[in-house]
Every structure is written in C-alpha cells, then in structure tokens.
Amino acid sequence: MTFNIYDFTELTRSIDDGLKAVMSPGWALFTELVLIGLVFLILYALIGLFLVYAERKVCAFIQNRLGPNRVGPVGIFQTIADLIKLLMKELIPIKNADKLLFNIAPFIVIIASFMAIAAIPFAKGLHAIDFNIGIFYVIAVSSLGVVGILLAGWSSNSKYSLIGAMRSGAQVISYELSVGLSLLTIVVFAGTMQLSGIIESQANGWWIFKGHIPAMVAFVVFLIASTAETNRGPFDLAEAESELTAGFHTEYSGIKFAFFFLAEFMNMFIVASMAVTIFLGGWMPLHFGTGNLFNHIMDFIPPLVWFFGKTFVVIYIMMWFKWTFPRLRIDQLLTLEWKYLLPINLFNILFVAFLTLMGWHF
C-alpha cells in the first residue's frame, strides 16, 4: 500500500483489494460503505465546526470586532463549547405541532446536504462515488433540503415559521433553475456531466479562464443563485431575523436547531465546492502556459490543499456579501431571478452552445 499525496487512486484501490482478499465481495462493499460513512461523518462535523468559527471570525473582521477569543487560543474551541451547549439544551415540545413532521424536518435538511457531499471529488481518486451524471445528482440531492424547510415551517404551528417556509420554498425552487443552467454552461463546454471528467478537462486551464465571457457570466450567476439556494444573506429571507424572528426554525431548540444551522453551513460548503469543481478547476493546480517554473511550483502543492483553499476563498466571498449587504425583499428576490438571472442564463447557454458548435473554445 503506497500513500501518494498527489493521487489517491492507488490507495483506495489497495484498500479495496485488501478487503476483498479477506472477505466476500458483498461484505467488502459493506465495510467500505461503513468506512466512507464514518469518514464523511467526521469530515462533516469538522468542516461544520470550522465554518462556524470561520464565519464568526470573518464577520468580526468585517465589523471591527475581535470575534470569539476566550475558549482556547484565539477562541478556536468556541464552536465546540457551543455544540456542547446545544446538545445539552432542552428540546422544547411545541403545543399543537405536527410531532412527526416537526421531528423529521431537521433530518431531511441535514440528510440532503450529507448526500450531496458524496459526489464531491476532494482530490484525484478521492471521492465516494463518481457518477457519470454527477452534476445532475448534486443538483437533485441538494434541492431535497427545501422539503425539510417547508415541513419545519408547516409543522411548527407558528405563523412566522410558515411565512419563512413559504418564502424559502419560492426562493429555492426559483433559484434552482439558475443554478442548474449556469452549471450546464460548463457541461456544454466540457461535454460531460461526470465531475471527475470536468476536472480532467481543466488540466490545461480552469473553465473560468478558458471559457471566455460565458463562463464568467455563469460563475457570477452561480455564485448569486447558489447563495440564494443556501438561504444565506442577502437572500436569508427564510430566516429574516428582523422580520420573522428566525423564520422557519423559530420554534426549534437545542440540537434540532443545531441541525438546521449545521446544514446551512454545510450547504455553503457544498455549493462552494461545486463552484470550485466546475469553474475553478477543482483540485487542479493553477497553471499558466506550459512547462514553465511557475507550473512546476504549483504542481508541488498537494491537490487537497488546492481544493480546500479554493473552496474557502469562495466561502469567504459568500460570507463577505452576507455581512455587507442588506436583505432583499421577497418580490425583489423573485424579480432578480425571473427577470434578470434566468434570461441572462438562457442567452448565455445559447451562446455557449454556439461557441462549442463552432469549436471556438480551447
């Protein structure tokens, strides 16, 4: 078993071979699934905790504050302390709430984000499943989360929650179109829906650079639409704390609230990693030209660093506009999608199809 930081294909294959040598193929598959599940659970928790901490520090930086700085050095254990607090809090039962739906809703939200993470390629050979319709899968799965939000708002027997949930429903379903279409732009360029295939196609340059203007447009549209899809500011109408106190999760407490909270942050991570995978070359290093020294130095940086580095840059941009922009109103939100983003996107995709047909892209 060799451990190569630049290519995980051998490592995963040797684990597979090793397992198959000692047990039947069915059990080997089962063991692998359990292993992957465990790894993802740990990854999920770690990324979630880190993102909460990062958001606090970023927003503190934007707001001239220090942010958490008491628990541990520069406050790095603050989120863990908060997690423990949330775990120990009472789960307040709501009178006249639909108990089943009320309890199921946070799990639907968190499962949807958990499923999406499976298709993300973290490095060469390091992904759980490499679908040939990877993009389709991610879009389909990540849109499941809105069901949880709608159920949460509906079942908690609160008017604020219901308004929040309805807003969220309208918002997510509208912006799904833009997310899908902007990703399709690159699918047309790359000629594949397989995420690993799209990354391979960016070996000689990221799509945002070699995709001319359409790729830029698609990237900007994707960034806006995906922020809206994750219900984050300035599109946080579903929560809208100044209007609806906390929107769809007003009535949730303790760890159930934490599930919504965690799912929001993980959705942000998934969306950012999709942006990185599709537009910014995934785990591919940054290259200019061919065979020069710069490229060699860039190749030396491991793909995992590239992937997480780029993802956190995108996440930082999303945090940046959350903390500087006011919130949109619901009619403005829908106007932005249906009157601006969607037509732009449709023209963009036609243009891309034309470009690809003529073979005018690299």
x-marked contacts with another protein along 21-60 as a string, rule CB under 8 A? --------------------------------------x-
Name which position in 5, 332, 339, 346 contacts another protein (CB under 8 A).
332
Least separation, in Å, of the C-beta of 160 and another protein?
7
Q: Count CB-CB contacts under 10 A for residue 292.
A: 11
* CB within 8 Å of 224: residues ≥ 6 apart: 178, 336, 341
Least separation, in Å, of the C-beta of 18 and another protein?
51
96 binds another protein (CB under 8 A): no
Distance CA 137, CA 115 (A): 9
63 binds another protein (CB under 8 A): yes
Name which position in 53, 114, 160, 307 contacts another protein (CB under 8 A).
160
User: SS3 for 58?
Assistant: helix
CB 63, CB 323: distance < 8 Å: yes
Backbone angles phi, psi at 126, to 5 degrees: -115, 75
Least separation, in Å, of the C-beta of 55 and another protein?
12
User: SS3 for 156?
Assistant: coil
CB 238, CB 164: distance < 8 Å: yes
233 binds another protein (CB under 8 A): yes
Least separation, in Å, of the C-beta of 262 and another protein?
21
Report the chain's C-alpha Rg in angstroms: 21
Nearer to another protein, 167 or 256 (CB): 167
Name which position in 95, 242, 290, 360 contacts another protein (CB under 8 A).
242
Least separation, in Å, of the C-beta of 186 and another protein?
28
Name which position in 27, 294, 316, 325 contacts another protein (CB under 8 A).
325
Question: What DSSP character marks residue 336?
Answer: I
Pick the stretch among 102-110, 292-300, 305-313, 319-327 that binds another protein (CB under 8 A). 319-327
CA 306 from chain centre, in angstroms, equals 17
Alpha carbons within 13 angstroms on the beta-carbon side of residue 207 total: 32
- Contact positions toward another protein, by CB under 8 A? 59, 62-65, 159-160, 163, 167, 233-234, 236-237, 240-243, 245, 323-332
